[in-house]
Amino acid sequence: MSLLSIQSLDVRHGLLQAVRDVTFDIEQGERVALIGANGAGKTTLLRAIAGGHQPSAGQIRFDGSDVTRAPAHRRVAKGIALVPEGRRLFTAMTVEENLRIAGAYGREGDWTLERVMDTFPMLRARRKARCSTLSGGEQQATAIGRALMTNPRILLLDEVSLGLAPLAVDLVYRSLESLITTGATILLVEQDLKRALRVANKVMCMLDGRIVMTGSSQSLTREQITDAYFGHRKRAG
């Protein structure tokens, strides 16, 4: 049984259908990169999985349970955590307060405040600082740490490198690579294909709201991924 199973999912923004008949499975321990151009539907799909946007059709099953209509906080309690695009921290609160709030609403597990600090060492000296004073990299580390404090079974990461300086991106991805050694299940939206392939063992490409290509990161060539990204196959057909 798959950890996450999406079946024939449609998601709309009013009259606009952002996600169209999407079906895929993610197994425990898989690390999946979801790639596609801006407007392809990636963020909407992640929000639908996390409970931030209700689908108009289809089904979301997590660990065998139908969570399609479950509110977001119940999905968190089951083990689904989203690191949203733009981070969405409580900026008037400190790093530690952001982390502790998340921990109060999550599952029991191994992720504690100290473990998050060990995973993101740059936060240790900043734990009492308000999030509004953090650098972009520190804010992103806090956002990921906040999700981890819920002890998720699957981590949904939306554009973790967006707007960050290259050095900050390196630090964030170095920490993500340490998560891989723990067997974390990850669904990652990322524009930087090189970084995404370094983390992922599976790739899905989204175009115009649909999944147009799926394969292992080892079996797909960069050219195949790029063609799917820009819809070259679609136009050629």
Total domains in the chain come to 1
Counting beta carbons within 10 angstroms of the beta carbon of residue 170, is it exposed (0 to 12), middle (13 to 18) or buried (19 or more)? middle
State how far the Cα of 34 lies from the Cα of 4, in Å rounded to an integer: 14
> Could you tell me where the DSSP H helices lie in 79-135?
95-104, 113-119
CATH code of the domain covering residue 17: 3.40.50.300
State how far the Cα of 235 lies from the Cα of 21, in Å rounded to an integer: 20
pLDDT of residue 237: 33
SS3 130: strand
Q: What is the pTM of this model?
A: 0.90
In order along its 237 residues, the chain shows pLDDT tens digits of: 799 999 999 999 988 999 999 999 999 999 999 999 889 999 999 999 999 999 999 999 999 999 999 999 999 999 999 999 878 899 999 999 999 999 988 899 989 999 999 989 889 999 999 999 999 989 999 999 999 999 999 999 998 888 788 888 888 788 777 777 788 899 999 888 888 888 899 999 999 999 999 999 888 888 888 888 777 654 333
What amino acid occupies position 190? E
Q: Which domain holds residue 117?
A: 4-236
What amino acid occupies position 188? L
SS3 182: coil
CB-CB contact of 203 with 217 (8 Å): yes
Residue closest to 85 by CA, chosen among 126, 119, 38: 38
